[in-house]
Every structure is written in structure tokens, then in C-alpha cells.
Structure 1
């Protein structure tokens, strides 16, 4: 369906947009802050047009602060930092491990989720794919290791955030645009405080990078949330969750053809192993699939 294709393209292109910004000299924290700020403004406009009020319950805002830190502030900054050292192609493939890390955290905090032999095999298969992407036989040293670990740290945040969202946040009252606006707004505030304390003053990166940041925020971190909900409503959460498999295709194609990034055989082989691991974990799971892996996660994960 058109919404599914556009959604996967937006999330797949986010890694190339991040790469454009960091290559232009934008510090990782500022990439994350501008992304959240533009995304929050876009979602607030949607709420205003729809006349959707923001939630007022203190508990909702308290949980939103945690969700924002796990699903937005920390991973957005980590991906930007990681892409100072690795290509956007690799970052997109690392992002595809989110369902595997989500499963790990879901097993830890959701009582009705159980670890089975099939799920265990899927986890090992998926993380073997990560090692193939990294090319461990060449030695894990230098910038690739640093960048790869930063990207994996970002997906670990996503995993913890999805599990926390499933248990504490997704059932809160309010439309998806309102909850998303609260979440991204909280992330903006968190990053604003962090950049004020630790980062240098922002610099003008040039028109290309500036446009990339606006598109990354408005479309990839704002409008994509609405598209994700539409896909869930039209096709159901199971179909919506398959965006996990399509995002790396977009990130690889965009990185290779538009940014001229090299793509080696182990990149494709590792990506195939990661996706195979995700499929195996779902075969061995309960009736509810593990949430999808969006580049810009929502308060209602695609598989919940």
C-alpha cells in the first residue's frame, strides 16, 4: 500500500539524512535536538489541525519522559555519533536489530513473554549477522568498532523503550499524534538541557545539511508517526511490523546510490542473517509479535 512504501522510505532515508548532517560538521547532540524540535513542531501542528488536546495526566508525562529518553533522545544522539565513524548503510542494518533487542527487554519485563528454544536460536542467528556486518575476521578495531557499538547502543535503547512503552505508555489516553507530540516534546527538552550543559554552540552547516535536518525532523520524526498509525489501521499490526525488513533496503540503496557509500558482500550477508534471526524469533514466540523497528519510534509500536 502507498502508506507502507512511503513510511519505509522515510525511515530508511533517515540514516542518509543523518550522515549528510554529521558530515557537514553538525555535532551529534545537535543533530538529535534539531530532529526532535522539528518533529515536535510538526506533531503539534497536526494536533492543532485535528483539534486534539495534549494529555494532562501527570503520570502520562512522567512515563513520556522515560519513553522520550529511550526512544528518541539517547538513540538519536547515538546514531548521529555512530555515523561519524560508519556509513549510513551500516547504520541502517544495525537499526534492523531492534526487534531482537526489543525481544530481550520484553522477556525481562513482560511477564507473559517466555524464552523458547526457537527464540534463542533466532537471537543467536541475528547477532551472528551483526558480527558478519562488522567483518569480525578483519579485527574489531578503529572507528568501525566505535561507530558500530554506538549504533547497537541506539538499538538497545529502542529495545528497552519499546518494552517500556508496551507496559507503561501505549495504553495511555490520547490520540497517537498527541502522545507522539508529548513524547517528542519531552525528548526536545531533554536534549536542550543536555546540549546546553555539554555541547558547543550550534553552527550553520550549510543549506544541504539544514534541509536534511528539517526533512529528518518534520517527515522522518513527525509525519512518519501518523503514517505508521494509518498502516496499522489499514493493514493490521502484523503487516505494519514488516517495515522492519524493508527499511534496510532503502537505507542501503540510498547510501550506495546517492552518497556513493561502498557496500561489500558481508553487508548483504549480515543483513540477511539479521532478518532471518528476526523471522525465527517470531516463529518461536507467543501470539503477539515483537514490535517493529522504526528509525523514529512511536508511542504505539507497530506490532502491539
Structure 2
């Protein structure tokens, strides 16, 4: 009897050990909401503040939160020079290129929905590059999911084109942001090493501030209207979009395959467009809703944890 009980306990312990942690199970949904909300919030804020100045202020506020936390917790620093370099490169690709170009596209009158749609093509680029760069094997089922997501994104763009005009500079900035976050995802997957979240965030946001502040001074407009809307928007971009969402994204990338985690971005356009419709009044034609449904089917085929 004791042997049977011991065997049963061993099976239960093994099952519990193989079960993913709660944060990883709930992580995709939390990340999706926080990330999607960042598009309309940033669009609102850039109507009052130059995007590069806003980005520099965001980094400064994040560092103001992280520095006292680092002094209190005293998290371990990277031991190797290469680890410092990897964190700096990831920080530049993600914070400076991705966010800098995304927010600059808003200054060129690109809508929150359009920018979200363009950067949602990231999973396709990751899927094409992942086999060569990080050794992942992309199955037929997952390729089907990627293609459905891409088709859904195109349908949404077509549906919105009847009610929205986007400038060429805005589109170019958005596609540059797409390359930035795709590069950051692949680089983090291949070279990223697990560090204390305070340490990795501190280094990456410091990199963002150092590389963004000169651009804001040289090319941006330093005069801004710091009203209640800007303060509230900045507070969300610091806490929700920076401290929580980015930490969660990098943690999920390290725990799962880069292409499957990237598939979450197919759900960002419908969420961002819905929030932009509610918050900014951006039009949502019927064809766009159809495209969002197609994209949702695509992400269901390649969602984190799906096999095959």
C-alpha cells in the first residue's frame, strides 16, 4: 500500500512539475491587452508631445522606478561582457527602433489600427527567419496559421482603406518598426540569457534613453503641452506598456519558441483597432471585422503550447 501511495505521489509531483506556471498560462492574455492598449494611448499622447521626446520621458520615468528598486533588491548583474552586449542590442532594437518608429508614424498621421496591422506581420518574418537563426522547425499546421493571420491582416487593411488615408512617411516608419521588433525577437531568442527582470529592464531602458534623448534634442520639438491627458497616457505607457508588458514578452520568448510567441501579434490588430474605435473614433468597417476573425483563426493554430 505504501509503495502504491508513493508511486501515486510521484506521479502527482511529476504532473505538477510539468504543468506551466500560472503567470505563463495567463501571460498571453494579459500581454495582449496591455500591448494593444499602448497603440491608442500613444496615438493620443503624440497629439500633444513630440514622439521622440515622449519616448525619452517614458524611459526616464521607467528608470526612476527601476533604480530605487535595484538599489533595494540588489539583483545580480550580468557576469560576462557578452551578456551586457546582448541586453544592450535587444534594448536598442526593441525600445529605440520599434517604439521610436511606431510613435513617429503617429506623428505622420498614421492611425493606431494601421500601425498595429503592419507590425502584426512580425510572425511571418519570424517564421521565415527562425529555422535558420534559432533552429526552430515550422510545421505545416503553423505555416497555415501564419498565412491565415497574414490574409486576415490584409483584409483588415483593405477594409480600412475605404475610410482612412495613411501618409507614405507614416507607412515607412511603421514598416521600420516591424523590422525592429522582428529583429529583437530573433536576437533575444538566440542570444538572450535569463536575467533578473529588474537588471534586464534597467539596462535596456537605459539603452533606450541614451539612444533616444539625442534624437529628441536634435530633431524633435521640445515644447509640449503637458496636460492631464499626457500625464495619464505617460503613466500607462510607463507602468502597463513598459514595466509589465515588455517584461512579460521577453519572459514568454525565453520560455517558448519565438515563432509561436510572435503569433500573439496577430491578435493585436483587432484588439488595438477595437480600442482605437472606442477611444479615438477610428472607423471599423464590416470587412475589417471579417479580417480580424480570419487572423484569430490563424493565431489559434500557432498559439503558445499548441503542438504540431
TM-score (norm 2): 0.73
Question: 1: distance between equivalents of 2:267 and 2:144?
Answer: 23
Does the Cα contact within 8 Å between 1:134 and 1:148 map onto a contact in 2? Answer: no
Question: 1: distance between equivalents of 2:294 and 2:82?
Answer: 40
1:200 counterpart (211, 217, 221): 221
Post-superposition offset of 1:280: 4.4
Does residue 86 of structure 2 align to residue 60 of structure 1?
A: no
| Structure 1 equivalent of residue 104 of structure 2 | 81
| Structure 1 equivalent of residue 47 of structure 2 | 23
Note the 1:5-154 alignment, pairs <5 A. Answer: 6-24=30-48, 26-55=49-78, 57-84=80-107, 85-110=109-134, 112-114=135-137, 117-135=140-158, 143=166, 146-154=169-177
1:179 counterpart (182, 200, 211): 200
Question: 2: distance between equivalents of 1:46 and 1:134?
Answer: 43
Question: 1: distance between equivalents of 2:101 and 2:178?
Answer: 9
Post-superposition offset of 1:76: 0.5
C-alpha distance 273-37 of structure 1, shift in aligned 2 (>3 A): farther
Post-superposition offset of 1:53: 3.7
Note the 1:161-180 alignment, pairs <5 A. Answer: 161-168=184-191, 170-171=192-193, 174-180=195-201
| Structure 1 equivalent of residue 10 of structure 2 | none
TM-score (norm 1): 0.74
Where does structure 1 lack aligned partners over 5 or more consecutive residues? Answer: 288-304
Q: CA RMSD in A?
A: 3.6
Larger radius of gyration: 2
Question: 2: distance between equivalents of 1:90 and 1:150?
Answer: 11
Q: Deviations over 1:112-139 (max 9, x none)?
A: 2245555554444333333222218969
Q: Deviations over 1:185-224 (max 9, x none)?
A: 1111111233233333342342311321232023310133
Higher share in helix? 2
C-alpha distance 43-247 of structure 1, shift in aligned 2 (>3 A): farther
Question: 1: distance between equivalents of 2:177 and 2:296?
Answer: 18
Does residue 297 of structure 2 align to residue 267 of structure 1?
A: no
Question: 2: distance between equivalents of 1:129 and 1:147?
Answer: 21
Q: Deviations over 1:4-62 (max 9, x none)?
A: 455433222111210111122x2222232222222333333443343314335322222
Residue 166 of structure 2 aligns to a residue whose secondary structure is helix
Question: 1: distance between equivalents of 2:112 and 2:160?
Answer: 22
Does residue 240 of structure 2 align to residue 258 of structure 1?
A: no
* Number of aligned positions between the proteins: 278
Question: 2: distance between equivalents of 1:251 and 1:40?
Answer: 27
Does the Cα contact within 8 Å between 1:75 and 1:157 map onto a contact in 2? Answer: yes
